[in-house]
Amino acid sequence: MKYGIAFFSKGIIYFMAIATLAICAILLPELAREASVENPNMTSLKYPFLFGAYLAAVPILVALYKARKLIDFLNTDKAFSAHSVRILRHIKICAAVFGILIIANCIAGIMVLRSINPQEDVTHIITLGCIFTLATTIVATFIAVLQKLLKEAIAIKTDNDLIV
């Protein structure tokens, strides 16, 4: 892989990690504080909301770290190795775990909002949950296809190495 492309890819990964951490450290606590000020009944739910959001951020950060490791493998010409397949499997698992956590957070949010106010409109939670779940499903499917193609390429490369 060319150095410029790898440098740019790592920069994007670092930017995404910093953005995720900034959202967790700055935006989410502010949103929780504003929600507790608007609705005093939800003050006690501020910390469970933050816990669920931080828990959902962990698979994202792990997947970004694994993607950075994969770029390092590409730089050292170890792209066609079992380590690359293992890293892709970890990224796929992170996407699946993130999707499951989003679904769990949406269900918990709907249950809490309905218990506080049965007339509350929860379509925004359902919409965001569906969007995030669809996105993680697409990412996991793409990674699974890429993982299978890489396994087949490694098998072909191994056969070619044995022939020569």
pLDDT at 6: 83
pLDDT at 107: 92
Q: For the chain, where are the E strands, in sequence order?
A: none
Mean pLDDT of 17-27: 95
Residue type, 46: K
- In which domain, by residue range, is 66 found? 3-163
Q: Is 77 left (phi over 0), alpha (psi -120 to 50) or beta?
A: left
Instruction: Dump pLDDT digits (tens) for 74-89.
Output: 888 787 888 989 999 9
Residue type, 111: M
Residue type, 23: I
Contact by Cβ (8 Å): 134, 69: no
pLDDT at 120: 80
pLDDT at 36: 84
For the cut 90, the answer to whether the pLDDT of residue 125 exceeds it is no
Mean pLDDT score of the chain, rounded to an integer?
89
Say which residue, 15 or 109, is predicted with more confidence: 15
pLDDT band at 164 (very low <50, low <70, confident <90, very high): low
Calculate what percentage of the chain has a pLDDT beyond 90. 54
pLDDT at 146: 92
Residue closest to 96 by CA, chosen among 60, 147, 149, 49: 60
Q: Identify the residue whose tokens are 């909301």.
A: 49
Instruction: Dump pLDDT digits (tens) for 97-123.
Output: 999 999 999 999 888 888 887 888 888
For the cut 60, the answer to whether the pLDDT of residue 1 exceeds it is no
The number of distinct structural domains making up the chain is 1
Residues 6+ apart with CB under 8 A from 6: 71, 74, 75
Instruction: Dump pLDDT digits (tens) for 43-81.
Output: 788 888 899 999 999 999 999 999 999 998 888 878 788
What's 40's DSSP letter? G
